[in-house]
Structure 1
Amino acid sequence: MASRPDRTLPAKAVAKAAWAVRALGLTSLGAAAGWLAYSHLVIGHRMPLPPALPGRRDVLRTRVGDISLYGSGPADGRPLLLIHSINAAANAYEVRPLYRHYAASRPVYALDLPGFGFSARSRRIYTPRLMVDAIHAVAGEIRRRHAGTRLDAVALSLSAEYLARAALEQAQDYRSLGLISPTGFDARLSGRGPLGGNRGSDFARAAVDVPLWGRPLFDALVSRPSMRFFLEKTWGSRRIDEGLFAYDYASAHQPGAEHAPFSFLAGHLFPTDATRLYDALWLPVWMIHGVRGDFVDFRHAASFQERPNWTIETMPTGAFPHFERLGAVARSYDTFLAEIG
């Protein structure tokens, strides 16, 4: 006699599945609650932070907040301004090799952009306009110190777009522009969108900018494994600069360190008109980028290659070639400056 199927099996399976889902949910909630508590009660948010660069460091009182400005080198000569990139843990250490190299021969300056390093890290929406105004304030102060001499300025990554706008708005401040691994030449961030606009989502920023969970989310983003992962993507190699890694970690664990990165993650710091900005530049432009890592899409750079005021070079490096091949980068830049006289 054939046995009848056990009709209780489906019900048992459903019950087990439901129990597993509930257990997973409770585990996830428990893990989230544990991380919130760990972030607020255990992780240090006032780590010791020495100056990123040698020399003198001043704090400029500006209408966009306090701006930290490093300076070194001889008193005479044409000043060089170096501008770091934008990311979750950005700061002036990113220009350290160039700063130390050129301090031996000319006045050199580097700022912490608003929301980073020793500059004001207030809770507000950070935009390209804010960054450009900070560059204007710093450029004006440097020219004041050097009898109105026009600057050479070099910016990294996304900050290249801010420097381009600053030079279009106040061309009298600059003799030349340097762009290292600039954004805005790739398929995603190039564009001829609204002038002066940004790609920000107020909803996305509001969702993360909640004290209860905002700082814990940021702490996860700037944990040591996460930061090493992103630097390796920047370098296109596991051989990152350990000094930068250590300083970035300390800089990201300061009061208010999450505010500017939240605007970065929500898109507010990305201009909509990058291609328009670069198209309009008439000052001499030096551009260099690497070929390794996740930041190697420069498909639209070819249209600038033949322009008489543009010099574009590539190097077998990641996105920060000045850390990997400082001598070659400096020789390329010096040749460019010698040619523009």
Structure 2
Amino acid sequence: MRLRRLLAGAVGGLAVTELANRALRARAGTLQPALGGDQRTHRWRGFDVAYAEAGDPDAPDVVLLHGVHAAGSSREFADVFDALAEDYHVLAPDLPGFGRTDRPAVAYTSNLYEGFVADFLSEVADDPVVVASSLTGSWAAMAANDADVSGLVLVCPTADTGARRPWVRRLVRTPVVGSGLFNALTSKPALRKFDERDGYYRADRVTDDLVDYQWRTAHQSGARFAPASFAGGFLDPQVDLADELAAVDCPVTLVWGREAKITPLSEGRRLAEEVDARLVVLDDTSLLPHAEQPESFLEAVREELPQLERH
């Protein structure tokens, strides 16, 4: 009898969790575009990849590639997208498994993203300058050795987020329980805490609109699958970032927030010295200087990469 009651309680708990998961997805609704411009779709290996496009098509191309985390999306570039589009032809995709792009329950790996970045730069863009942040910066560096790229602007890039943790990926991908755990980790208070602790230097720059969009994108159907691979360490490329950057045949600029914790400035200085790259340090910013101080970021990019000037 006792075992029966325990089993009944467990089944009941799972049922309640699933109902809560469904209610949260319904409340999140259909995710709206994070950026202005024209909303496009690029078909890639079975994914419908959503991307925003703005600016004169005859102007130099700039591709914006957002970083990877539980609520990642092209929303990361909301404060620089329109300004860049005044002078350039700007393309900003949501990576596979994120934002408004398809999120099937496939095994997301670094190889998948390496292939996507290289193909997007070759098939959709034309010899672009690529702006990429965090882990995505390593995929952009690898792609620059295959695709035609006229410049790299990498924001706090990394190729190493820690050891692989297969059990984490399995747990988060588990039906019902994994969804419930992911929903708890991406509640609005949890997202705000991450932003204030690691993403931004000043808490007042973490707006309600930002947290609300992050919450909505993290509660779309299938939202947990790509972050599960990220949390499990399966998205780290098996390369040395310094070696990749040293091999690229285009200018490289590294942009770092002085107060970054996950990838501290000391790492940026070491990397810049090893590959002889430009290093731009923005004060009073952390992991996302382009989102936290967009005007300073744009000024630094234009000064450090004169090839971005229109010709």
Structure 1 and Structure 2 fold alike (TM over 0.5)? yes
1:212 aligns with 2:179: no
Indicate the SS of the match to 1:169: coil
Q: State the alpha-carbon separation in 1 of the partners of residues 19 and 261 from structure 2.
A: 32
Q: State the alpha-carbon separation in 1 of the partners of residues 275 and 244 from structure 2.
A: 17
Question: How many percent of aligned residue pairs carry the same amino acid?
Answer: 26
Question: Which residue number in structure 2 is paired with residue 229 of structure 1?
Answer: 193
When normalised by structure 2's length, the TM-score is: 0.86
Question: Which residue number in structure 1 is paired with residue 239 of structure 2?
Answer: 273
Q: State the alpha-carbon separation in 2 of the partners of residues 96 and 340 from structure 1.
A: 19
Indicate the SS of the match to 2:50: strand
Equivalence map 1:1-341=2 (5 Å): 36-37=17-18, 39-45=20-26, 46-63=28-45, 65-143=47-125, 149-170=126-147, 173-184=148-159, 189=161, 200-233=164-197, 234-239=199-204, 240-275=206-241, 276-306=243-273, 310-316=277-283, 317-338=285-306
Indicate the SS of the match to 2:78: helix
Q: State the alpha-carbon separation in 2 of the partners of residues 297 and 32 from structure 1.
A: 42
Q: State the alpha-carbon separation in 2 of the partners of residues 41 and 113 from structure 1.
A: 24
Residue type of the alignment partner of 1:235 = Y
Q: State the alpha-carbon separation in 2 of the partners of residues 38 and 117 from structure 1.
A: 23
Query: CA 1:41 to 1:323, structure 2 compared with 1: closer, same or farther past 3 Å?
Result: closer
Q: State the alpha-carbon separation in 2 of the partners of residues 123 and 177 from structure 1.
A: 31
Greater Cα radius of gyration, structure 1 or 2: 1
Indicate the SS of the match to 1:101: helix
Report how far residue 112 of structure 1 moved: 0.5
Residues 104-131 of structure 1 show CA distances to partners (whole Å, capped at 9, x for unaligned) of: 1111110000000111100011112111
Q: State the alpha-carbon separation in 2 of the partners of residues 62 and 35 from structure 1.
A: 37
Residues 244-267 of structure 1 show CA distances to partners (whole Å, capped at 9, x for unaligned) of: 222111111111111111111111
Q: State the alpha-carbon separation in 1 of the partners of residues 267 and 22 from structure 2.
A: 47
Report how far residue 133 of structure 1 moved: 1.6
In structure 2, list runs of 5 or more residues that go unmatched: 1-5
Name the stretch that deviates more: 236-245 or 89-98. 236-245
Report how far residue 301 of structure 1 moved: 3.2
Residue type of the alignment partner of 1:329 = F
Contact 1:284/1:309 (8 A) holds in 2: no
Indicate the SS of the match to 2:25: coil
Q: State the alpha-carbon separation in 2 of the partners of residues 57 and 339 from structure 1.
A: 27
Indicate the SS of the match to 1:313: strand
Report how far residue 309 of structure 1 moved: 5.5
Residue type of the alignment partner of 2:233 = G
Report how far residue 83 of structure 1 moved: 0.3
Residue type of the alignment partner of 1:58 = R
Indicate the SS of the match to 1:174: coil
Q: State the alpha-carbon separation in 2 of the partners of residues 284 and 328 from structure 1.
A: 20
Contact 1:128/1:271 (8 A) holds in 2: yes
Contact 2:64/2:92 (8 A) holds in 1: yes
Report how far residue 281 of structure 1 moved: 3.0
Question: Which residue number in structure 2 is paired with residue 11 of structure 1?
Answer: none
Residues 119-171 of structure 1 show CA distances to partners (whole Å, capped at 9, x for unaligned) of: 1100011112111221223212334xxxxx4111100111101101111232x
Name the stretch that deviates more: 82-91 or 34-43. 34-43
When normalised by structure 1's length, the TM-score is: 0.79
Q: In the comparison of the two structures, how many residue pairs are matched?
A: 298
